[in-house]
Amino acid sequence: MKLTRRNLMKTMGFFSLTIPFSTLFEGVQGFDALQLVEKYANTPDNQSEFWFWVKQSFTTSPTILNLNNGGVSPQPKSVQDAFIRYNQISNEGPAYFMWRILDQGREPLRKKLAELAGCSPDEIAINRNTTEGMDTIIFGLKLKPGDEVVLAKQDYPNVINAWKYREARDQIKLVWVDLQLPSENLDYLVNAYTSKFTSKTKVVNLTHMINWNGQILPVKEIATEAKRKGIYVLVDGAHTFAHLNFKIPDLNCDFFATSLHKWLCAPFGTGMLYIRKELISEISPLFPNDNPSSTDIRKFESLGTRSFPAEMAIADAINFHNLIGSTRKETRLRALKNYWVENLSKFSQIEILTPMSDKFSCGLGIFAVKNKKPEEVADYLFNKHKIYTVAINWENIHGVRVTPHLYINEDDLDRFVSAVKDFINNNK
């Protein structure tokens, strides 16, 4: 369906019985942006007009260059405006407007997320972040003492900590993979996990894109082998959903958790959990409800009072994502990473710690300056040039992580490369 102001209002039709459209949309400024993207959306990917419009759709700081979008991404103005208006509506009569009116948008939102994820709405739970989704599975799976879980030392700390807690509480056994990254060797990456499988292995925990250096793991290939052995496949998709162009069923996984406030640019504190339909009854909810063994995915949403404005504005973030298109978005994010990597690679003092192959990386990358601590580089970039990156020191990965988003352009990255050059010249 072509996204126009008329169609957008139509999708919000459930408000019409209670709130006049003039009140509902008062102050929302996103529609001019929709008109602009309609004008430029069909231009070739390298058309500067389109990416100029995208940059203007955000309200980012004019003084700080944010290259840590992997932590959390800003929302385009259309999403900010929607959130503000939903919040205003809620405050006109919270118990009524939140539960009786805004909450009616929950099932249409579930359907919209499912369409983006490529699965059934009955497999999607709306929550607050990846950690909540991963914890739901980690603590909800029925495991007994001696059962083994395969995971990597390079997984996300919150996930590692949750598994360690489960190990201490229930005497399960954690079997560790120590990945040597970056790698573009498919066989090595697959075997690193599958070689750890035994008759006692019940779960394999996979990070789709390693947050430390942007390494994409061959989840489907590992999952296929795991399925042959009856092993559950749990995927941390914090950095791939709305970043890479894929559908969750493509991964052949059982569970997939992600944060929507990262690459989808949804409001802060929004997330999503996918559970393969036939497994829903086997997972106990993290927050108990009246029927923990239910087959209804909604049993995982018993959070008490939550942020209705944030949840409802997820739909606006999906609209923005769809206007750009998943393929074009992935291509652009990869091009931005390749641009700064190729320019930094010209300096002999630079080491790139991210794969360059499209199969194994996209928009997230990391570099190191030889014989310099990551903190030295990151602090210099911010203190001297107001460029915000993040120093990484985790296991065997040490460098400065750089994560541009769609509002970053080549001029911004030239500024970044120049700043790194300045660091090299002044810190010999």
Tens digits of per-residue pLDDT, 117-134?
999 999 999 999 999 999
Q: What is the mean pLDDT of residues 26-53?
A: 62
Same domain, 273 and 340: no
Domain match, 202 and 240 both: yes
Q: What is the pTM of this model?
A: 0.91
Residues 301 and 215 reside in one and the same domain: yes
Question: How large is the average pLDDT for residues 384-405?
Answer: 98
Q: Please provide residue 34's backbone torsions phi and psi, each rounded to the nearest 5 degrees.
A: -65, -40
Q: Helix/strand/coil (H, E, C) string of 171-238?
A: CCEEEEECCCCCCCCHHHHHHHHHCCCCCCEEEEEEECECCCCCCECCHHHHHHHHHHCCCEEEEECC
Q: Is residue 353 part of a domain?
A: yes
Residue at 380 is within a domain? yes
pLDDT at residue 222, rounded to an integer: 99
In a domain, 119, yes or no: yes
- Contact (Cβ atoms closer than 8 angstroms) between residue 52 and residue 99: no
Instruction: Taking each helix axis as running N to C, give the angle between helix 374-385 and helix 410-426, from 0 to 180 degrees, rounded to the nearest 10.
Output: 120
How many whole angstroms separate alpha carbon 73 and alpha carbon 253? 26
Q: How confident is the model at residue 288 (pLDDT cuts 50, 70, 90)?
A: confident
Q: What pLDDT, on a 0 to 100 scale, did the predictor assign at position 42?
A: 67
In this structure, the answer to whether residues 299 and 361 fall within a common structural domain is: no
Q: How far apart are CA 192 and CA 196, in angstroms?
A: 7
Q: What is the pLDDT of residue 49?
A: 82
Q: Which of 317, 338, 362 is the last residue of a domain?
A: 317
Contact 385, 419 (CB under 8 A): yes
Q: Using pLDDT thresholds of 50, 70 and 90, give the confidence band for residue 53.
A: confident
Instruction: Give the number of domains in the chain.
Output: 2
Among candidate residues 288, 317, 346, the one where a domain is terminated: 317
Does 271 lie in the same domain as 332? Answer: no
Give yes or no: residues 306 and 332 share one domain: no
Residue-wise pLDDT for 56-85, tens only, equals 999 999 999 999 999 999 999 999 999 999
Query: Does one domain contain both 136 and 116?
Result: yes
Predicted local confidence at residue 82, as pLDDT: 96
pLDDT of residue 18: 37
| H helix intervals, 5-129 | 5-11, 21-24, 31-40, 48-56, 77-91, 94-96, 106-117
Report yes or no on 240 lying in a domain. Answer: yes
Do 187 and 290 sit in the same domain of this protein? yes
What is the reported pLDDT for 47?
A: 73
Q: Are 19 and 89 in contact (CB under 8 A)?
A: yes
Above pLDDT 90, what percent of the chain? Answer: 85
- 22, part of any domain: no
Residues 6+ apart with CB under 8 A from 380: 419, 423, 427
The answer to whether residues 175 and 113 belong to one domain is yes
Q: Which of 317, 342, 361 is the last residue of a domain?
A: 317
Residues 310 and 349 grouped into a single domain: no
Residue 244 resides in a domain: yes
Report yes or no on 136 lying in a domain. yes
Q: What is the CATH number of the domain that holds 241?
A: 3.40.640.10
Answer yes or no: do 167 and 306 share one domain: yes
CATH of the domain at 364: 3.90.1150.10
81 assigned to some structural domain:
no
**Distance between first and last Cα of the chain:** 57
Question: How deeply is 19 buried, as exposed, middle or buried, from its count of CB atoms within 10 A (0-12, 13-18, 19+)?
Answer: middle
Mean pLDDT (the chain) is 91
CA dist 159 and 163 (Å) reads 6
Which pair of tokens denotes residue 158? 């919150």
Same domain, 216 and 291: yes
DSSP letters spanning 115-180: HHHTS-GGGEEEES-HHHHHHHHHHHS---TT-EEEEETTS-HHHHHHHHHHHHHH--EEEEE---
Residue range(s) defining the domain that contains residue 211: 106-317
Residue 50 pLDDT level (bands cut at 50, 70, 90): confident
Mean pLDDT of 258-282: 98
In tens, the pLDDT along 1-32 reads 444 434 433 443 333 333 333 333 333 344 45
